[in-house]
Amino acid sequence: MSKTRANRPALDTVTYPRIELFRPNVCIIVVNKDGKFLLGRRNTREDHWQFPQGGMNINPFKKPNERDVILNGLRELKEELGIKRRSLEVIGVLKHTYEYRFDKLKRYEGRLYVGQRQRFLLVRFLDADHTVSIPKAAKAELIDYRWCEKAHLQTWAAPKRYIGYKPAIEEVVKLLEKT
């Protein structure tokens, strides 16, 4: 190994650990007064339904706290479905987390990510259904929505999403029994 001033190794001879960066993400489980779950249809495929979700505006090296999850989750619901804060009761941040890899590296805000690390937020929708209004933006991620019984979530949710949802849904059922 070649040496530089002060006996430090030259940069070209040092091996650095590979850091795989997972994008912080919040997945929002919205349940209405009838106990149905809200699913949104992605703009990319006709048959791809999922819970609303999105990247968290936090440092990806920082572990998100409960406040981060709640604030980012409420922002995502407003952006993607036009749901205002006053239409929601925040029940809480779930214990379950889900980490998954992308098919290929993706760039968000100048950083390359190998996948996403999801935290789950549970909220109750208190308003009338007509207050859900998907913005008509050219790059809208969700283009439609539906309310779905728990028994039908596996049928409607995209299979690659449902894998991560299943433990969260089990946690939700236990929480809702208490409220």
Q: Give tens-digit pLDDT for 13-57.
A: 556 556 678 999 999 999 999 999 999 998 887 788 999 999 999
Among the residues of the chain, which ranges form H helices? 66-81, 153-156, 159-178
Span 158-175, average pLDDT: 93
Residue 49: strand, helix, or coil: strand
What confidence score (pLDDT) does residue 33 get?
A: 93
| Mean predicted confidence (pLDDT) in 121-140 | 85
Which of these, 28, 57, 12, 16, lies nearest to 124 by C-alpha position?
28
Residue-range domain boundaries for the chain: 8-178
Right CATH for 8-178 from 3.50.30.60, 3.50.50.100, 3.90.79.10, 3.40.50.1460:
3.90.79.10
Question: Taking the chain, what is the end-to-end CA distance rounded to the nearest angstrom?
Answer: 63
pLDDT at 99: 93
CB atoms within 10 A of CB 83: 25
